[in-house]
Amino acid sequence: MKLNESCLPSEMVATPEVDHGNDTVAPDRQDQVRANTYSLLAALLAAPPTQPMLDMLRRIDAADDTRFGASWDMLQLAARYASVEALDDEYHDLFIGISRGEIVPYGSWYLTGFMMDRSLAYLRRDLDRLGIERQQGVCEPEDHAAALCESMAVVISSPEDLGLDTQRYFFEQHMAPWMAIFFRDLQAAKSANFYRAVGRLGEQFINLEKQYLTMLG
């Protein structure tokens, strides 16, 4: 599960809603938009943005006046004034720290208050059933927010094999119970500057995913 930055820009920016006035987004494009958004969030949560990533974010055009579109505009503005050096420090303060960062980006922590808890075991069981394996050299548990976003992108990108029911199950079991709260905490973190915009985008997107998957249920 590795992000390819070159696939992101133009196909990424659209709200995950079926009906846009008189226009309807085709299902295959809808899934591409959703998967790319998950992949972007995964990249931003896995490591500080690189200069090519910042350059890409500065070219975003949300092209709508929804709250989700406003969150894209906020991220673009944050990227415009960010530097790689400052983001490296911000990321460290938020997610790493000396003993730990200000934010703990793990599902088991949010769900039970403990790391490596039973919720991680259930996630590993489901990932094994889906054939999703952790990359070599990755030390983080699979319930890291970045890993879950990238896993969801993989599930969405394989609709012929997995289907909408699998998307809904994975999202409801492993993401919906805690991830919007995590993104709200990220927005409120004292160390957050650029990542406040990431939190805003993430919260809006997760809420739209809940509506989207419920509507198609």
pLDDT digits (tens, 9 = 90+) for 33-47: 999 999 999 999 999
Mean pLDDT of all residues in 151-168: 85
How much is the pLDDT for 150? Answer: 95
Mean pLDDT of all residues in 2-24: 36
Percent above pLDDT 70 for the chain: 82
Q: Does 138 have pLDDT greater than 80?
A: no
Q: How confident is the model at residue 27 (pLDDT cuts 50, 70, 90)?
A: low
Mean pLDDT of all residues in 131-153: 85
Mean pLDDT of all residues in 83-109: 94
- For residue 7, give the 3-state DSSP assignment: helix
Mean pLDDT of all residues in 181-193: 98
For 81-217, where are the alpha helices, taking DSSP H only?
84-91, 107-112, 118-130, 145-156, 159-174, 179-188, 194-215
CA dist 52 and 17 (Å) reads 29
Mean pLDDT of all residues in 95-105: 91
How much is the pLDDT for 20? Answer: 32
Q: What is the CATH number of domain 17-215?
A: 1.10.3480.10
Sorted by where each begins, the domain ranges of the chain are: 17-215
Pairing of strands 23-24, 19-20: antiparallel
- What is the residue-averaged pLDDT of the chain? 85
Window from 38-47, 152-161, 172-181 with minimum mean pLDDT: 152-161
Contact 120, 143 (CB under 8 A): yes
Which among 215, 204, 210 has a CA at the least distance from the CA of 71? 204
How much is the pLDDT for 10? Answer: 34
∠ CA 142-185-174, rounded to 5°: 30
Window from 91-95, 108-112, 114-118 with minimum mean pLDDT: 114-118
Q: Does 210 have pLDDT greater than 80?
A: yes
